[in-house]
Structure 1
Amino acid sequence: MNKKSGLGEFLRMRRSQLQPADVGLRDFGERRRVSGLRRDELAQLAGVGLSYYTRLEQGLSLNASPEVLDALARALDLDEVERAHLHDLARASRRTDTRRRSAPERAGDTTQQLLAAFGDAPAIVLGRRSDVLAWNRTGHALFAGHLDPDIPNQPDQRPNTARLVFLDAHTRDLYREDWPKKARDVVGKLRLAAGQHPDDPRLAALIGELTMKSPEFASMWSEHRVRKWDLATYRMHHPLVGSMRLNLQTLNVPQEDGQRIVVVTAEAGTGSAAALSLLAQAGGTPSGVRSVRQAARTEATA
Structure 2
Amino acid sequence: MSARHWAVIGLMITALSWAGNALIARASAGMLPPIGLSFWRWSVALVLLLPFTLRGLWQYRRLLLDNGLRIAVLAALSISSYNTLLYQAAQSTSAINLTLVGTGLPVSAFFWSMLLLRQVPARATVGGTLLGLCGLLLILTGGQPARLLALHFNDGDLIMLAAVLSWGLYTVLLQRWVMPAPGLVLMAAMLLCGVPLLAPFFLWELAQLGPMPVTWPAAGAVGYTAVFASLVAYVAWNHGVKVLGPSTASLFSYLVPAFTALLGVALLGEQLYWYHLAGGALTFLGLLVATRWR
TM-score tier, shorter chain, comes to under 0.3
TM, length-normalised to structure 2: 0.25
> Which structure: greater helix fraction?
2
Tell me: higher relative CO, structure 1 or 2? Use CA pairs within 8 A at least 6 residues apart.
2
TM, length-normalised to structure 1: 0.25
Which structure has the larger Rg? 1
> Which structure: greater strand fraction?
1
